[in-house]
Amino acid sequence: MTHPSLYALLGFVVWTMLVVVVGIGTPRLSAIMARRAPPKSFLADVPHGSERYRRTMRAHANCVENLPIFAALVLIARAVSLESDVFEALAVTVLPARVAQTLTHVASGSNRGVVVRFLFFTVQLLCFAAMAVILVSG
């Protein structure tokens, strides 16, 4: 892989997997193994777990919701053999913004935390929009 955007996409995928395994799977498995909860008790449409656990669930959903957009942009760029340093820089900016958004989301549900995570989300959206513009004009 010679394009940093592909590494950023791979990083986004790995981050999404880490959030689900560490943030959701580990607490669930721990509760099941300690017999604090049966395996069938983790219904998607019924709130369960601590507030932090529920924020982690939502943060994971945010990753899953945005991963296809990012993947589409990066893969289209590769499909059309786009060579753009600006596109690559924007793609590389997405990953730390995603990680920071997730960490902020999990760490705090306060008003300040919501504003900070929204700022990190806005960075990603602006990167996506600029990447799309580069693809259309390039």
Using the predicted structure, report yes or no on whether residue 49 has a pLDDT greater than 90.
no
pLDDT tens figures, 101-136:
999 999 999 999 999 999 999 999 999 999 999 999
Using the predicted structure, report yes or no on whether residue 61 has a pLDDT greater than 90.
yes
What angle do the packed helices 4-18 and 51-79 form, to 10 degrees?
Answer: 160
Cα–Cα distance for residue pair 12/138, rounded to 1 Å: 24
Cα–Cα distance for residue pair 79/66, rounded to 1 Å: 20
In the chain, the domains with their CATH numbers are 4-137 (1.20.120.550)
Distance separating the N- and C-terminal Cα atoms of the chain: 21
Question: Tokens at residue 136, please?
Answer: 């259309």
Confidence of residue 31 (pLDDT cuts 50, 70, 90): confident
Mean of the per-residue pLDDT values of the chain:
94
Question: Tokens at residue 100, please?
Answer: 């920071």
